[in-house]
Structure 1
Amino acid sequence: MKQLILFSLTFFTSSLSFAQINLEDSTVQVIGYWDKNETQTYAITNEKYRVSGSDTTKREFVTYEVDVTIKDSTANSYTIEWLYRHIDLDTDNPLIRKLAGISENMKILIKTDEMGALETVINWEEIRDEVKKSTAVLRNEFKHIPQIDAVVDKVDGMFSTREAIEALAIKDIRQFYTYHGGKYTLAEEINGQLPVPNNLGGDPFNSDVTIRLDEINAEDNNSVIWMWQTIDPEALTDATYAYLKQNAGETATFPARADFPEVQTEITTAARIHGSGWVMYSRETKEVTADGSLAFEERTIEIK
């Protein structure tokens, strides 16, 4: 496997990375054993579509690459740069293509703890300002399009604050570090609750979570971990109803809350992680269902 060649390390570093897998008690602890200036490149794809009855509509497909570089490391943290490039969106819509292009050559600096668990975005103000410059140009270039301001305002909102960026704009980064800092036992399920960012605005949703270490591959020094999440349907439905009603306009006819269909969301995240803490492959699928309709999203992250 060519991916394994990328993980050729010195004997000392390899010894550290193998400490992540403990065959005696069949456990894996996901820890980042990373060196300053170390870089890995990933190919990322994001596919979305909607299904209503037997019809599939609104299909979107985006591909891009990121260079993930360890910029600094201390006894209790890592500073890591994500550089986005080669963004390609499968659409003929020039506005959508240019909106996606805002992320071209964008650098996002994040901080993790000593285990590699994501903590925060460091350069959020720089990101916010660069996005505002780009969207200001698009407002003028596409001013002939109805509601262009509403479209651009939504993009600006995703990058307006540190909290917005961390919740809405770095979903791939959050996915990458899902399991870092945790310790898992083979075939043992961990059940609990975790917050999920609220894309509609407002407080995060609660979700019921099950995590399972599915494979330990000691020879190749990697493991496979799965997570299943179900978002609180009542809170999700309440938030969806309020959002749609608020944006429907005063003259629009809107159903009573009791007549509004329940919205359900399930998220599945699977990853193969090397003993060094580098993710080899990760796939996250999200299914949102309501009144017989399905909104599907799948994001894959694969080392090159």
Structure 2
Amino acid sequence: METNPTWMTDEATLLGDLRIDNIFIPGTHDSGAYTGVLADSEKRIEKYVIAQDEPVLNQLIFGIRSLDLRVSYYSVRNHDYDQLYINHGVRGVRPLREVVEQIKEFLEKTREILILDFHQFPIGFSNFRILHLKPHETLIDYLLQELGPFIAPPQLTWNARLQDFWNLNKTLILAYNNRKMLSKYSHILWPPVHQKWGNAQELSKLKEYMRNVFANPPIGPWSAQAELTATGRKIITDKLRGLRQMAASINTQVTEWFQSDWGAKCHIVTCDFFRSTGIVKTAISWNLRRATGDSCDL
């Protein structure tokens, strides 16, 4: 799989007039739940926690432009930034700081436009018994502290062209799934990405779900969650053999779906173990077609 660290700016002349909500954006699901190649002896639970085999920086270098980040907070004090963690479900995977540092490095070295999709907050964000605790404010203040110079103003709206982001030299979108915080931090937080998730355990069920979605695609920012989901019983029995095997069983077909007509209608597409897909190359090809009006098959 080839790297594509600057595919947006490489084609800026063609892509610059495309709206951010009308570009095919390759993304990863549970982007912060990554590790290297795991041994066959890995613990059963880890097989259902790890969703990517590349660190976030590598994901971006390969061409991913939307990151799905699930953040938890493990503190009873405000602004305890070291206790912000990336989670997959209830399982803490790594400190958020490790991921943010990689994102910051990428943004410092490129002008690529990146979406951070903060959609779920599994632990520590809804503990109403600790009335003084402000986990959302802690997270947002941390993001502003570390990534502030790159954050695009939401006043651009999802209708903005890529060139509008480059003109402002602001290339980071913080999409945030909390209405109260959107109001409080309206100068930096963007409306959330609508995640279309099929909760499917089989390829046929996922395809059926996606077929229904693409029959009437959502308006505005949305993501096609193109991965299988393990259920509790199947995790216990290890019937599905882990997320890596689940992804391997569908990723070729998923790529083919988006090489076809769905590629003309999608916005963000997320996958597990994205390197076994061709989703980045497919997205780049479709974006060039959208920019030029080319109707030839891929």
TM-score over 0.5 for the pair: no
Question: Greater relative contact order: 1 or 2 (C-alpha under 8 angstroms, separation 6 or more)?
Answer: 2
- Between Structure 1 and Structure 2, the one with more strand by share is 1
What TM-score does the superposition give when structure 1 sets the normalisation length?
Answer: 0.34
What is the TM-score normalised by the length of structure 2?
0.34
